[in-house]
Amino acid sequence: MVEKKIRLEGVDTLGLLGLHDANLRILENKFDATIHIRGEAVTVRGSQEEVEQVEKVFKELIFLLNRNSTLSTNDVETVVDLVTANGEPALPKNIASTFSREELDSVVLYTKNQIIRAKTPGQRDYLKSMRKNDIVFAVGPAGTGKTYLGVALAVASLKNNEITKIVLTRPAVEAGESLGFLPGDLKEKIDPYLRPLYDALDDMIPGEKLRTYLEKRVIEIAPLAYMRGRTLNNAFVILDEAQNASAMQMKMFLTRLGPNSRAIITGDVTQIDLPTKSASGLVQIQEVLRGVEGIGFVYFDRNDVVRHRLVKDIIDAYDKYQNGEKQV
């Protein structure tokens, strides 16, 4: 056990600690070290590693407070996540001098290797909607980060103990392939459809911890058909490739939500593998739930594509080709 005193001379203590010590409560919940405030000094007592981390957090928060005159709870969580994920601020200088307030607010998740944040106007609108609404529909072309950002927010919610379970699901619709001819049992046949969800999680959670989460079903990845008859409480649920869910499947999925649960539904209505476009639950739901409070709709376009630069050109080429066919 070690002890460290951090001086607060000239610091707006109320602004630093937050109304009713809300910011201090965040630190106490994140660290096992004890934190005592007396006058113009903070005393931190605990393991060497945690005491050093808490000291770094306070230094960053003081810098941020002096620069912006205020601290939000999001600022505090941002600094804590940066320090605990990387051992020190991930950026070469104080994060406050490197990231603007808007950029700090766009951060979704910090990992050992990267900072996951909204990068485009469409992605920032998506993040705002996800933070405001319990159910969000994200509609747009491939490569716009709909699924990736959604999974990142779910992982962040789990990390912050806002929920106790993540459920990721997709409809197992045959897109030109036949499940029957694939080798293996049902799980082995289905897993290729769910692989993009595993890939996203691999980027965000260390391998051993992810395996533990999957074994204990803290994180569950399953075909949409497996959702029938369930009630999902305290969960963050993501339906990916929702353009291939039928109207009945969409209703079934949305009515699975229990208390303290949230849902994100992502899809691209230009890539429907169902017999007809009108059969897509994602197409229908935009009319059914339009204007319902607590439900958000976000639309992406080619300008939100964050994959290879050629993806935008490919989307444009297909749009021009399809528009040309319609004019004939």
**Cα separation, 180 vs 316, whole angstroms:** 35
Against a cut of 0.85, is the pTM above it?
no
Share of the chain above pLDDT 70, in %: 83
Give per-residue pLDDT as tens, 269-312. 888 888 777 789 999 999 999 889 999 999 998 777 765 566 66
Which positions ≥6 away from 59 have C-beta within 8 Å? 6
Give per-residue pLDDT as tens, 76-111. 887 887 777 654 444 434 444 455 556 667 777 777
Give per-residue pLDDT as tens, 9-19. 888 888 898 88
125-327: CATH topology = Rossmann fold (3.40.50)
β-sheet with 2-7: strand ranges across: 2-7, 41-46, 34-38
Phi-psi bin for 136: left (phi > 0), alpha (psi -120 to 50), beta?
A: beta
The one-letter amino acid at 219 = I
Contact between residue 148 and residue 198 where contact means Cβ atoms under 8 Å apart: no
2-105: CATH topology = Ribosomal Protein S8; Chain: A, domain 1 (3.30.1370)
**Cα separation, 76 vs 258, whole angstroms:** 30
| pLDDT surpassing 90 at residue 119 | no
pLDDT at 88: 43
Q: What does the angle CA 73 – CA 76 – CA 79 come to, to the nearest 5 degrees?
A: 150
**What would the 3-class secondary structure string for the chain be?**
CEEEEEECCCCCHHHHHCHHHHHHHHHHHHCCCEEEEECCEEEEEECHHHHHHHHHHHHHHHHHHHHHCCCCHHHHHHHHHHHHHHCCCCCCCCHHHHCCHHHHHCEEEECCCCEEECCCHHHHHHHHHHHHCCEEEEECCCCCCHHHHHHHHHHHHHHCCCCCEEEEEECCCCCCCCHHHCCCCHHHHHHHHHHHHHHHHHHHCCHHHHHHHHHCCCEEEEEHHHHCCCCECCEEEEECCHHHCEHHHHHHHHCCECCCCEEEEEECCCCCCCCCHHHEHHHHHHHHCCCCCCEEEEECCHHHCCCCHHHHHHHHHHHHHHHHHHHC
Strand partners, 116: 109
Each domain of the chain, given as residue ranges in start order, spans 2-105, 125-327
Which positions ≥6 away from 214 have C-beta within 8 Å? 220, 221
Give per-residue pLDDT as tens, 253-270. 999 999 999 999 999 988
> Phi and psi for 280 in degrees, rounded to 5?
-75, 125
| pLDDT surpassing 70 at residue 179 | no
